[in-house]
Amino acid sequence: MNGSNRTSGSPHVVIIGGGFGGLSAARALGRGRWRVTLLDRNNYHLFQPLLYQVATAGLAPSDIAYPIRSILRRQRNTSVVMAEVQAIDAAHRRVLLHDRQIDYDYLVVATGATHSYFGHPEWATRAPGLKDLNDALGIRHQVLQAFERAEVETDLARQRALLTFVIIGAGPTGVELAGALGELACTVMVRDFRNIDPQAAHIILAEAGPRVLPSFPAELSAKADASLRKLCVDVRTGSPALALDRHSVRLGEDVVETETVIWAAGVAASPLGQTVGAPLEKTGRVLVAEDLSVPAHPEVFVIGDLAAYVHQTGQTLPGLAPVALQQGRHVARNIMRRDDGLPTEPFRYRSRGSLATIGRGAAVADFGRLRLSGQVAWDAWALIHILQLIGFRNRMLVFIEWSWAYLTRQRSARLISRHEPGVDRSADPPGRHRPVARPENTFMSRKAT
């Protein structure tokens, strides 16, 4: 079994998390004398940059998720185990699952991040965020259901509240969600209802700061702002979310009646980082050394959204897929070097630019000196994302879905699951391997309270 003793000949590398970071580390370790075990609580790798399209009924879950086993099937030195890690016991070099332990020689922690509600964990139920497929399907359900309820609502004030959607936070996720929702209401569903006009939907993108996409250059923020307004999105900068109750949200001085609030504002590191035994920065990310290892444990590496890596420029690297991918490959190299008795090498991030999409034919791209917007940025965005999707099959399907949506202005995945996905312990198959929730699960789940 995977928990086999590390005194056997081949060193055992354990990787926790099958996201961009963990998977790229596992792939780079695919050949060699070591054994690799990749642990993830899901059986699939998720292409998170397109998750907002699942939330807005543009793509099916299986278009952006792929079984980790299939991705790594050719690596005979690699086992994939679907399990929740409870804690890391770095002193004894082992990882604790709820029913057993796994020893390691080298450990890569890549469990990413969850939402932060800035001291208001009770808002999680009311304003779900977007981190995994469950979140995305829950938001899709809530949005489509709001239109259905508005169609049969006779009280005009309540109808108006049902057709008001508030997205909090205008970073890339918030902007992409708002744009996709604007398209859904203003073009996709236009002729589908009899009593309501979907174009009357009120989509508010609320941002505490002075402009949308704060991490982009100001000129691109202005272009994104203009594109959002064309898609019926009401952009409100300088509007922090101050209070939230069942039927309304307070944005700065304004109280907005709404049934649907989506959270795209704060990020908190995965709580597993607290068990690594290393210093954390304020959002809970693990402060890593230059070679991505943890100060007291040179055999433990932390990468991706969970790592706080102070860049050569003095800034902490942002939580982006390219950072995680590069760190995964780098950490694999450092493990090989250390196993060969060589010194590890410091990580250097090579930025390839950043992109955000707003809607059909509208995006912004910042490639350093080259800044793009409009159709050409959208084309670049679509091309890059399709090329990066793992597996030829998913690439082809997403390309078809997008071409189809682009030509017909239809959306494919407008299904309201009869019941929102949620924790249903009673339906779990009987047996010992019933999954146990990780701490952030309890905190994050929309039914936490």
Q: Burial of 19 by CB count in 10 Å (0-12 exposed, 13-18 middle, 19+ buried)?
A: buried
For a second copy, the closer of residues 151 and 234 by Cβ is 151
Map the footprint of a second copy across residues 116-155, applying CB under 8 A: 125, 132-134, 138, 142, 144-146, 148-149, 151-154
Q: How far is CA 180 from CA 161, 199, 273, 295, 382, in A?
A: 20, 13, 33, 43, 14
Number of residues that bind a second copy (CB under 8 A): 80
Closest to a second copy by CB, 68 or 205: 68
156 part of the interface to a second copy, by CB under 8 A: no
Residues 292-311 that bind a second copy (CB under 8 A): none
**Residues from 189 through 218 that contact a second copy (CB under 8 A):** 189, 191-195
Which CB contacts under 8 angstroms, 24+ apart, belong to 229-232? 230/362, 231/178, 231/179, 231/182, 231/183, 231/186, 231/358, 231/359, 231/362, 232/182, 232/185, 232/186, 232/199, 232/201, 232/203
Q: Which stretch binds a second copy (CB under 8 A): 169-177, 228-236, 301-309, 431-439?
A: 431-439
86 binds a second copy (CB under 8 A): no
CA distance readout (Å), 172 to 50, 115, 200, 214: 11, 15, 25, 9
Tell me how far, at minimum, the Cβ of 346 lies from a second copy, in Å: 34
Q: Is 413 in the site for a second copy (CB under 8 A)?
A: yes
Least distance (Å) between residue 113 CB and a second copy? 17
Residue (340 or 424) nearer to a second copy, CB: 424
Nearest approach, Cβ of residue 28 and a second copy (Å): 19
Of the pair 338, 438, the CB lying nearest a second copy is at 438
Question: Which residues on adjacent β-strands are paired with residue 101?
Answer: 96
Q: With 0-12 CB in 10 A as exposed, 13-18 as middle and 19+ as buried, what is 392?
A: exposed
Strand positions, DSSP E, 32-90 = 35-40, 44-46, 65-67, 78-82, 85-89
Q: Does 92 bind a second copy (CB under 8 A)?
A: no
CA-angle at 64, arms to 212 and 127, nearest 5°: 45
| Residue with Cβ nearer a second copy (370 or 407) | 407
Rounded distance between C-alpha atoms, residue 129 and residue 139, angstroms: 8
Q: Which of 148, 153, 176, 281 is catalytic?
A: 176
101 binds a second copy (CB under 8 A): no
| Contact set for a second copy, span 24-43 (CB under 8 A) | 41-43
How far apart are CB 54 and a second copy at their closest, in Å? 10
Cβ 31 to a second copy shortest distance, Å = 16
| Contact between 404 and a second copy per CB under 8 A | yes
Task: Kindly state the helix (H) or strand (E) to which residue 406 belongs, with its residue range.
Answer: helix 392-408
Q: Which stretch binds a second copy (CB under 8 A): 202-210, 329-337, 382-390, 397-405?
A: 397-405
Residue 161 beta carbon to a second copy: minimum distance, rounded to whole angstroms: 9
Contact between 427 and a second copy by CB under 8 A: the answer reads yes
With binding defined as CB under 8 A, does residue 340 bind a second copy?
A: no
**Which span (87-95, 111-119, 307-315, 408-416) binds a second copy, by CB under 8 A?**
408-416
CB 63 within 8 A of CB 57: no
CA distances from 338 to 11, 75, 97, 116, 391 (A): 11, 22, 27, 36, 32
In angstroms, what CA-CA distances link 268 with 131, 134, 237, 265, 283? 11, 18, 23, 10, 5
Site string for a second copy, 228-267 (x = CB under 8 A): ------------------xx-----------xx-------
CA neighbours within 13 Å on the CB side: how many for 329? Answer: 8
Please give the distance of CA 301 from its chain centroid, rounded to a whole number: 21
Q: Which is nearer to a second copy, 102 or 365 (CB)?
A: 102
Active site residue 176: yes
Q: How far is the CB of 283 from a second copy (least distance, A)?
A: 24
**266: amino acid identity, one letter:** G
Site for a second copy in 270-289 (CB under 8 A): none
How far is Cα 224 from Cα 212, in angstroms, rounded to an integer?
A: 7
Q: Which residues within the stretch 45-84 sit at the binding site for a second copy (CB under 8 A)?
A: 60-63, 65, 67, 69-70, 73-74, 79-83
Interface pick for a second copy out of 160, 297, 360, 414 (rule CB under 8 A): 414
Residue placing its CB nearer to a second copy in the complex, 82 or 289: 82
3-state secondary structure of 242: strand
Interface with a second copy, residue 44, by CB under 8 A = yes
Q: Which residues contact 128 (CB under 8 A, 6 or more apart)?
A: 135, 138, 139, 142, 262, 263, 446
Residues annotated as part of the active site:
176
